[in-house]
Structure 1
């Protein structure tokens, strides 16, 4: 792994266009969240000092998005929002536009190209995010985490799943386990972290499923069932995430 270089986009903007070439590990419907569709390009062009890219030679092999925002601004009170992912992106965008000084960094996404899984790159990108936030003077990194084992249990409430632990006390979920090993603590569930709605035709295109019966529908890759309303020609997916806090003075755990 000696050829791997990890930098922020403001330090090295050349790989920016290639960030979008990385194949998403998420299901197709997840790319239709309107908030992230709007603000992902913004993250690359404005708070680029909080966006990391890992390259090996000319190949982009990992990326990590994060944003600074004012968690303790008036009306927010330091509480991590129920609307999770969508809310923190909107706060970060609004704060930068209004010139509000940020006090916290939120990780947004870490993605590793599939042929480099198993090399510890996700942990290295997380460490880069934490180290950069510390260098900018922040005391904490938070993250609305999408547990990667949850699609196997779509009917299990996130409040039950998120707090399951192994005999060693670490989370059962692999991605939550990476976070806790890096010094994070699980704070709360964000029950409304991402909302994706569409016509039944759109959902059929995204999933390949008929979606012709009313009620909850299990969709591959979804953390919870999609709610289908054939009579009204729409379906809605409301994804819960898990808020974790990374106090930057807290050591990593083995």
Structure 2
């Protein structure tokens, strides 16, 4: 998929765009006190002048890691820019070398690249056999590692990440669509996601079932990430608990969180959907969170 921005249109092509321009801006023409629309001659002049910027969006390209293996080195930095450190550095319960697993399925890793050839988004996924839902994020990774035959009955998205400087531009939705397309091309019948609700971290003491019942004033799901998937056609399947578990020593947790943990007990932590449990005697911190299964039929 490639989207380009043209800085100049030929005189032969420009004529087809003015009627659409007039239709799109019909309201200002009929309601404004002053004239806001360009005449056809003015419109044609601007469209054929390369000095006049036509859009503020640079060229975007979606490609798989199989197509752009040179960008693999940029993926860790992208993830570090958006995800809590403990989700990347902690010892995950799945016990699988995740980078190695993802690299073994390059066609399932979708990348979004800007016109400067920088990675600004990534949707990481793995192929799974059968139609059963694994036990959350950890279970999906274990099932993918056990999928030695490489069956792709369904694809499980593990994360969808957009660079901080590229948020609020609709790119997350573009990655979702690209991931659906990639899964379809691989022969999957559905795309499943153990979604990590983005605003749940603001309410770590609220249970996931209670949080999932919250609605906006318009009756939509309260969480913006769940809401985005629903708008793109995903169905809510249910809660997966636990979705993932991470452990580390007390010193490691203090480093990841940049905060002291002076006694045993539960702590509300930055970026956590649930509290962290610390046991000083065992020199261990255990973090477990639930997630929400959603499904796209392909």
Distance in 1 between residues matched to 2:150 and 2:113, nearest whole Å = 33
For 1:66-77, what aligned pairs fall within 5 Å after superposition?
66-72=125-131
Tell which structure's C-alpha radius of gyration is larger: 2
- Conservation of the 8 A alpha-carbon contact between 2:96 and 2:145: no
For 1:1-254, what aligned pairs fall within 5 Å after superposition?
1-22=57-78, 23-31=80-88, 32-34=90-92, 35=94, 38-44=97-103, 46-56=104-114, 57-72=116-131, 78=132, 80-81=133-134, 83-95=135-147, 97=148, 99=149, 101-248=151-298
Give the superposition deviation at 1:181: 0.6
- Conservation of the 8 A alpha-carbon contact between 1:84 and 1:193: yes
| SS across alignment from 2:281 | helix
Distance in 2 between residues matched to 1:12 and 1:208, nearest whole Å = 35
TM norm structure 2: 0.75
Distance in 1 between residues matched to 2:213 and 2:108, nearest whole Å = 29
- Conservation of the 8 A alpha-carbon contact between 1:104 and 1:139: yes
Give the superposition deviation at 1:36: 7.8
RMSD: 1.7
Cα 1:186–1:196 shift into 2, 3 Å: same
TM norm structure 1: 0.88
Partner of 1:251: none
Cα 1:228–1:21 shift into 2, 3 Å: closer
Give the superposition deviation at 1:171: 1.1
- Conservation of the 8 A alpha-carbon contact between 2:96 and 2:142: no
Structure with the larger RCO, 1 or 2 (CA within 8 Å, 6+ apart): 1
Divergent runs of 4+, >4 A: none
